Amino acid sequence: MKVHVYMVRVSHDQKPYRKFMMETWGGTVTASPSMLTRCGREILAADPDNPGSLGIAISEAVEEAASNKGVNYSLGSVLNHVCLHQTIIGLEARRQLELAGDYPDVVIGCAGGGSNFAGIAVPFARDKINGSKVRLLAVEPAACPTLTKGRFVYDYGDEAKMAPIMEMYTLGHTFIPPTIHAGGLRYHGMSPLVSLMHHEGIVDAVAVPQKGCFEAAIMFARTEGIIPAPESSHAIRAAIDEALKAKDEGRETTILFNLSGHGHFDMTSYDMYLSGKLDDYEYPRELIDTALHDLPNVGLPV
C-alpha cells in the first residue's frame, strides 16, 4: 500500500528522523501546509511562514483523498474507533495489576487527540461510572489547553472544514497552537469519546507547562533509563505530582500512567531544555475566544 503523509511543518522541521523512518518504510512525506493542495496553497498565500497544525494536515489529507479516486484517508487519533483500538493498553494494564493484586487510584495519560489516554483510561471508565473512586486524568499542554480551556460544542476536526463536525472540547478549528516540542499534543480538538467523558465528570483534566514536563522526563530517564517522548512527559509530570502529593499527605497510592512513546527522535528538544532555551507558554484566553468565533452553526446554544 502506498502512503502519503502530511506532516505538520513544525514537526517535520523539528523531528526529521521521524520523516526518514517513514520514507525508509516506503512512505512519502510532505510538510504541511504544502503547495500540493488548494487549502495548503491558500494558507501559505495568507501566511508563508505558517508552522502548520494537525487541523491543517487533516484538511490537506482529506482534500487529496476527496479529489482522487482510489485514495483513502486515515487518521491516527481522535476518532472513537482509533481510541477503542487503543484500549488494549488499559485492558492489558488491568490484567497486569490484577496479577500484582493491585488496582489504580489514578490512571494518567497525555492527551493530544485523545487516543493513548482513552486507551489506558477507558477500560477503567465503567468502574468509575459504577462508583469506583479511580481517578482518570488527562494531561495536556498549557499551550494547547483543549479540555481545560476549550468549549464542549460541535466543531470541525480540521482547518478547511472538510472533515465532519463532531461534538467535542475544542479551541476552534482555526486555532494555531504555539510550536511547543510536544508536537503530538498540538490539536485544537479532542476525541468525542474523551470529551464526553470529561463533560460527564468521568475524566479529569489538567494542563501543564512544557519546562516542568522536561524536568519530569529527565528525572524519569535518569531513574528508569528510558528517554520519553515530549508528549509522554506530560503524563510523567502528572504522575510525579500525584506521587509527591501522596507522599506529602502520608498515604500510599497506586498510579498507573501510559508511557506513550520514546523520545529518541526528540533529542533536539532535550538539548534545548538542557541548554536553557525552552520557554513556557500559556495560551491566552482572548486568542482562544477569537478562534471559537468560527464554530459551525448547528442550531444549538454554545
Contacts with ligand PLP, residue ranges (CB under 6 A): 77, 110-117, 184-185, 229, 231-232, 260-261
Closer residue to ligand PLP (CB): 55 or 184 = 184
Residue nearest to ligand PLP (CB): 184
Closer residue to ligand PLP (CB): 112 or 150 = 112
**Cβ 110 to ligand PLP shortest distance, Å:** 5
**Cβ 232 to ligand PLP shortest distance, Å:** 5
Under 8 Å between Cβ of 288 and 177 = no
Q: 113: closest CA among 61, 75, 148?
A: 75
Closer residue to ligand PLP (CB): 76 or 250 = 76
Closer residue to ligand PLP (CB): 59 or 233 = 233
Closer residue to ligand PLP (CB): 114 or 150 = 114
**Cβ 130 to ligand PLP shortest distance, Å:** 26
Closer residue to ligand PLP (CB): 113 or 209 = 113
How far, in Å, CA of 141 to CA of 139, rounded? 7
β-strands 151-156, 165-170 pairing? antiparallel
How far, in Å, CA of 146 to CA of 155, rounded? 12
Q: Concatenated DSSP letters for the chain?
A: ---EEEEEHHHHHH-HHHHHHHHHTT-EEEEES-SSSHHHHHHHHH-TT----HHHHHHHHHHHHHHSTT-----SSSSHHHHHHHTHHHHHHHHHHHHTT---SEEEEE-SSSHHHHHHHHHHHHHHHTT---EEEEEEETTS-HHHHSEEEEEESSTTS-SPEEEEEES-TT------S-GGG--SS--HHHHHHHHTTSEEEEEE-HHHHHHHHHHHHHHHS--B-HHHHHHHHHHHHHHHHHHHHT----EEE----B-TT-HHHHHHHHTT--------HHHHHHHGGG----SS--
Closer residue to ligand PLP (CB): 41 or 199 = 199
Closer residue to ligand PLP (CB): 33 or 263 = 263
**Cβ 265 to ligand PLP shortest distance, Å:** 10
How far, in Å, CA of 68 to CA of 60, rounded? 12
Grid cell listed for 181? 516540542
